Amino acid sequence: MTPITATSTAMENRSPLGRLAVVAWLVGGLLWLIAGLVHDSTGWRFYTSSVLWLIADAVIAFGMVALFTLRPHGSSRVGTGALAIAVLARIAFASGEIVALVQGHDDNPLIPLGALLTALAMTAYGVVVRRRRVIQGNGNWAFLAMGLYPLVVMFPVVAVTGEPASVLIALWGAPTALVGTACASLTAPPLSPAPATPVDR
C-alpha cells in the first residue's frame, strides 16, 4: 500500500478535526512548495509568492492548533510549550508576509524570526513525538524533519551566502506535507484481531 493510499484509507476513519488537520498539513506543504518555486524579489512573482505563503501559513497554523487536540505529544509539557511557540511563530511569519505585501519587499525581521522560532519549536516537538513512538513508520520522524530542515539546510546557506535560496525554502514544504501523512495515522483505529480458526480434531 502506498503512503497516499494509506493516508486516504486512514482518513475515512478519522474525526472531522483529524481529517481537516491532515488536509491542512498536506495543502500547507504544497502551497509552501509552490510559493518558493514562484518567488522572485520583484513583480507579480513576488506578490504571488507572498500571498501563497500567507495562505500556507494560515493553513499550517490551523494544522498546528489541531495537534493540541490530536495530542501526538501526549501530556508532555515540553511538547505543549513547543507547539504553542510554533503557532506563535507562524503568526509572526504570516504578519511578516502582510508587511511584505504592503511595503513591496520581504526585508523585515518578522519573517526570519518566524522561521527560526518555527524550526526550534518543531525540533523540540519532534523529539517529544519521536520518543513517544505513537506514529508508526517513517511518519514518526516527520515533525522532527520539519524542524531540523531549516536548521541543517536553509540557515547554513544564508550564513554562507548572505541570501536565502528560494529553492531550498520551497523544499521545506516536503517535510511539512509529510506531517499530514503522520497525522493520518494518529487516530487510526486499531487492527481487529483475526478471528480464531477452529482446530480440527
CA distance 182 to 3: 10
Collapsing DSSP to helix, strand or coil, 52 comes out as helix
Kindly report, residue by residue over 40-68, the tens digit of the pLDDT.
Answer: 888 899 999 999 999 999 999 999 999 99
| pLDDT band of 135, cuts 50, 70, 90 | confident
Q: Which letter does DSSP use for residue 53 in this model? A: H
DSSP code per residue over 54-109: HHHHHHHHHHHHHHHHH-TTTT-HHHHHHHHHHHHHHHHHHHHHHHHHHHTS--ST
Cα distances from 23 to residues 56, 117, 145, 153, 194, in angstroms, run 12, 24, 19, 26, 32
Average pLDDT of 122-135? Answer: 91
Please tell me the predicted confidence (pLDDT) of residue 198: 46
Please tell me the predicted confidence (pLDDT) of residue 120: 97
CA distance 91 to 96: 9
